[in-house]
Amino acid sequence: MKKGTGFVVLCCLSIILHVGCGGGSSNTPKVSKLSKRAFVVVTSPTASDVIDIIDASKDQFTAFTIALSILRATLVQPGASNTTLIFSSGDNVLALIDNTKEAVQTVSNSTGIALPGVTESVVESSDAKTIYAAIRSTSQVSVVDVGSFTVSTNITVPSVRRVVLAHNNSKVLAFSDNLDTFTVINADKTKACGPPDSSLPTLPSCGTLSRPFYAVFSSDDSKAYVLNCGPECGSGAAGVTVVDMTQTPPAIGATLAVSAATIAVMDSGNLYVAGTDGSGNGHLDIVNLSSFTVSKSIQIGNGFHSLLSLASNNKLFVGAKTCSTGCLSVVDLSAGTAVIDTAPGDVTGIAPIPGRNVVYVTVGGELRMIDTTTSMPQARQLDIVGTAAGVVAP
């Protein structure tokens, strides 16, 4: 695939004017200084990964890139303190990008943090000091000291797959495969509750649910809304359980039945819960938090739903993997309807562009630009050279 001859001409002109192409004159700017940017992480089977910096105000390629030393990025997400986190399954390295400098952060000449295995879920404290990574292959949550780029400790959590961090950094919820309970980790890296292990045989239980899978904290962190995956994970009914986080161990409260539940996001009054039911149908349930009832259920594409992002024009973007329908659903929350995009492949990134009615999505290794006024791809699209592994709009 080609970016087009226009890009080549622009790049050559940039060299003449000393404004890009990554080398040449000492007057060459080190950063793009764009008012709106998108970082698209691109992988290649024959080279290290790279970040293409897109001018997100014009939906145009630029001559600016960020060279990475990692291989095969599989997780791209915003970090704390104006950073981007990128995990590579090719070498089990977590890289941190300084968004302001548009460069890879380094500590003692190290360009990344070595983790003991593959992770699908990382969270970073708001003070940018600590990262928690779920390492299923070792049944551990690795705790990373960002200042030294080292794993400071590993906390045993059986078959752990996902971690969720409270806004105030006081608690980490860790969710394991094929268990009907979860684990709570305190800020001091001790476990408040969870399944007992050989070192903590008397650890109190966090309660019994139906394949707890994910959670969303209330704005004051007093409650966690825990998703019960249910049939999608081979267990009972799907639901949302209110957990009182002010008690030790946390107190299990009421459970609301929903269609399916693997991912959720919250606004000021609603919890939006997505998943696929036992019959293979995708759903988005809107939970009114005041009444704790399902106010609306909307059919969406199926598959394993792992990404949600609220965008302009009251649209909610839902991303999934391993679908038989399209993996991207654009939900009109006002109308209660959804458009299932036809692009094939897994959704790996969703990035609303601030101040615009455009959302960048990486799906099936391509970059797709969706107009939120129509819920459809806009006329202008860009063809990425390589595989688009993820996207953020820093």
pLDDT tens figures, 122-158 = 999 999 999 999 999 999 999 999 999 999 999 999 9
Query: Is 280 inside a domain boundary?
Result: yes
Query: Is 330 inside a domain boundary?
Result: no
Query: Is 308 inside a domain boundary?
Result: no
pTM score of the predicted model: 0.92
* 15-20 contacts, C-beta under 8 A, 24 or more apart: 19/63, 20/62, 20/63, 20/64
Higher-confidence position of 21 and 171: 171
Domain that includes residue 244, residue range = 233-300
Q: Taking 60 as the threshold, does the pLDDT of residue 19 lie above it? A: no
Asked if 319 and 334 touch (Cβ cutoff 8 Å), the reply is no
Quote the number of domains for the chain.
1
Q: Taking 60 as the threshold, does the pLDDT of residue 26 lie above it? A: no
Asked if 282 and 329 touch (Cβ cutoff 8 Å), the reply is yes
Query: Is 245 inside a domain boundary?
Result: yes
Query: Is 109 inside a domain boundary?
Result: no
User: Over the stretch 82-115, which tens digit does the pLDDT of each residue have?
Assistant: 999 999 999 999 999 999 999 999 999 999 999 9
Query: Is 200 inside a domain boundary?
Result: no
Query: Is 48 inside a domain boundary?
Result: no
pLDDT for position 21: 41
User: Over the stretch 192-229, which tens digit does the pLDDT of each residue have?
Assistant: 999 988 889 999 999 999 999 999 999 999 999 999 99
Query: Is 268 inside a domain boundary?
Result: yes
Q: Taking 70 as the threshold, does the pLDDT of residue 24 lie above it? A: no
H/E element, 5 = helix 5-17
